[in-house]
A = this chain, B = another copy of it.
Amino acid sequence: MNRLSLYGLNMQKRLNKVKDIVDQQLVLNNEKVADALRELADSGGKMVRPALFLFFADFGDNKDEDKLLKIAASLEILHMATLVHDDVIDDSPLRRSVITVQSRYGKDVAVYAGDFLFTRFFQLLIETMNGTEYMEVNANAMQNVLTGELDQMHNRFNLNETVEEYLKETEGKTAELFVLAAVQGAYFGNADEKIRKVAQKLGKKIGIVFQIYDDILDYTSSKEELRKPVMEDLSEGVYTLPLLIVLKDHRQKLTDILEVKRALTVEQAKQVTKMVNEFGGVARAKELAKEYSDESLDLLEQLPKGTASRELKRLVQGLVDRKF
């Protein structure tokens, strides 16, 4: 899956402009940090959040495209900030086939690089929406993302984590930004109240689908397809949906292997991955994702027909088919 398959030509053009705005924000004296951030930006993110924002903006009549593109860029920059800090925490060597900021330049650079992006995010907000209630909506969303991350960290190596807890964490750490993107799109695009309500619900569901598929890929992809190390979550104690699903019926077998925690070998991780597939964890996670994506498609029916809703449908379907 790439941008080409997810979006129509017009959206691709607009996302290229969003990317230009993002690039302009990455200018700073420190060359190490500037290079690292440019590499991350260039490594081909799917820009799902800016796209979601722009699709929802299209349901309204606001024609201030410059402003809309800047807000779209602020979403991508906030997302990048969280990625950079997540990689510090996970000690991840790769992200989108590219060496992560912290593994190339050290965690020192990565911590400040993330902070720098948070600052740029706020500067873009101030530029586009100073004085509006959406300043607070953005700050609160950022807080919820962090709280979601913290909850997930708290649950590391917790073999008693429930599917409900997983979904709650996902609502924070992933779905929150999707909701923010969709709701802000409807608001700043000047769409009517009814569309804003659909945006709220749809953002959440799409975010959950996105995260579940992210987690499924950890159990099904090769390193080449995924463009980041597979089975990384397991050795970090991050137990995601496919594993949590099968833990209930096969607890003993899995615990016997996972109890070594960080000392998990690659061989053992492969064993767990195999079990999670054989016991049906992946299949059942896909079923759950399918439920959320079906609900998303139902919600889409409540939106006015046209290019935006057609492309949103294509995006939802694309997320379910993705390989990375």
Using Cβ atoms and an 8 Å threshold, which residues of chain B touch A151? Answer: 29-30
How far does the Cβ of A110 sit from chain B's closest Cβ, in whole Å?
A: 9
Q: How many copies does the complex hold?
A: 2
* CB <8 Å contact, B115 and A89: no
* CB <8 Å contact, A112 and B33: no
* CB <8 Å contact, B143 and A30: no
* CB <8 Å contact, B154 and A32: yes
Using Cβ atoms and an 8 Å threshold, which residues of chain B touch A33? Answer: 150
Using Cβ atoms and an 8 Å threshold, which residues of chain B touch A122? Answer: 122, 139, 142
* CB <8 Å contact, B89 and A112: yes
* Listed stretches A16-24, A128-136, A199-207, A213-221; interface member: A128-136
Q: In the complex the two chains form, what is the Cα distance from A123 to B111 in whole Å?
A: 21
Is A149 part of the contact surface with B, judged by Cβ < 8 Å? yes
Size class of A's contact patch?
Answer: 35 or more
Is A88 part of the contact surface with B, judged by Cβ < 8 Å? yes
Using Cβ atoms and an 8 Å threshold, which residues of chain B touch A114? Answer: 111, 115
* CB <8 Å contact, B118 and A30: no
* CB <8 Å contact, A154 and B30: yes
Is A28 part of the contact surface with B, judged by Cβ < 8 Å? yes
* CB <8 Å contact, A116 and B143: yes
Binding site for B on A (CB under 8 A): 28-30, 32-33, 85, 88-89, 107-109, 111-112, 114-116, 118-120, 122-123, 126, 130-132, 135-136, 139-140, 142-143, 146-147, 149-151, 153-154
8 A-B pairs (CB sep. < 8 Å) = A29-B150, A89-B111, A107-B107, A112-B150, A119-B139, A120-B143, A122-B122, A126-B139
* List of 7 A-B pairs having minimum Cβ-Cβ separation, nearest first: A131-B131, A30-B150, A89-B108, A119-B143, A126-B135, A123-B139, A122-B139
